Amino acid sequence: MKRRESKSKPGSATDEGAVSKIDDDDAALFRDAVRDVAPLIASDKIPLTARHPRPIPLQIQPDGQTAPDDSLSDHISLEMEPGDEWEFLRSGVSRQTLRKLRRGYWKIQAQLDLHGFTRDNARLALVAFLNSSRERGFRCVRVIHGKGLSSRGGEPVLKTRIGSWLSQRDDVLAFCQARPEDGGSGAVLVLIKSPVAGTTK
């Protein structure tokens, strides 16, 4: 009479013991693999909130296509004494408009960061940014030109040029230095003409 071999059925104690041993082996391997891993140091970066919109990517024109209309001159300058706050108001626009812009009446809807840009690249980027903002119906945008802490003389290289370029745009009603929480002397807030009726509401 043949001796019948005993086979463990799925789900039996023998199978459970094998699974448990595999799990223990995997856990031991994992602990061994991560034993030298240190926790990440807490970052001091503050995530952007709704008050700080994401920058609009610079639109690079494919070969053969026309670049943004660049009719801004480098030879028109605005008078500004060192340390003065930037401000500009289009002729015919109420002074109250500038005060409202300075106080944050309009929400910042887009921003352009020009850190590291050359003069020519900054001008083209500014033109493309303003055109895009106008097409999207944005009223208030921020242009970050930097505080010039690492430049010669400690003055922002692009600050004066940006003021000059903005003043040449007919769709720019006003601009002023940003509030401290919006960039202070390293940024400028720009009020763009309404695409509907050119009002400042």
DSSP 65-124: SPPPP----SS------TTPPPEEE-TTS-HHHHHHHHTT-SPP-EEEE-TT--HHHHHH
The per-residue DSSP string of 121-153 comes to: HHHHHHHHHHHHHHHTT--EEEEE----TTSGG
In this prediction, residue 197 carries a pLDDT of 47
- Is residue 36 a part of any domain in this protein? no
- Is residue 50 a part of any domain in this protein? no
pLDDT mean over 123-132: 95
Chain centroid to CA 5: 72
- Decide if pLDDT at 187 tops 50: yes
Distance CA 144, CA 167 (A): 16
Which letter does DSSP use for residue 184 in this model?
Answer: G
In degrees rounded to 5, what are phi and psi of residue 143? Answer: -115, 120
pLDDT mean over 9-17: 54
Beta bridge partners of 176: 87, 189
- Is residue 174 a part of any domain in this protein? yes
Number of structural domains (the chain) is 1
Query: Could you tell me which residue, 111 or 50, shows the higher pLDDT?
Result: 111
pTM metric for this prediction: 0.60
In this prediction, residue 29 carries a pLDDT of 84
- Is residue 71 a part of any domain in this protein? no
Terminal Cα distance for the chain, rounded: 102
CATH assignment at residue 159: 3.30.1370.110
* Inter-residue contact 151 to 182 (CB < 8 Å): no
Element (H, E) at 189: strand 187-192
Coil/strand/helix, residue 159: helix
- Is residue 109 a part of any domain in this protein? yes
- Is residue 128 a part of any domain in this protein? yes
What band does 61 get if pLDDT is binned at 50, 70 and 90?
very low
- Decide if pLDDT at 139 tops 80: yes
Report the mean per-residue pLDDT for the chain.
Answer: 75
- Decide if pLDDT at 159 tops 50: yes
- Is residue 168 a part of any domain in this protein? yes
Cα dihedral 59, 61, 66, 71 sign: positive
Tell me which residue range forms the domain holding 127.
87-192
- Decide if pLDDT at 80 tops 70: no
- Is residue 53 a part of any domain in this protein? no
pLDDT in tens, 95-124: 999 999 999 999 999 999 998 888 899 999
Residue 111, C-beta contacts closer than 8 angstroms, at least 6 positions apart: 52, 53, 54, 55, 56, 141, 142, 143, 144, 187
Residue 137, C-beta contacts closer than 8 angstroms, at least 6 positions apart: 195
What band does 132 get if pLDDT is binned at 50, 70 and 90?
very high
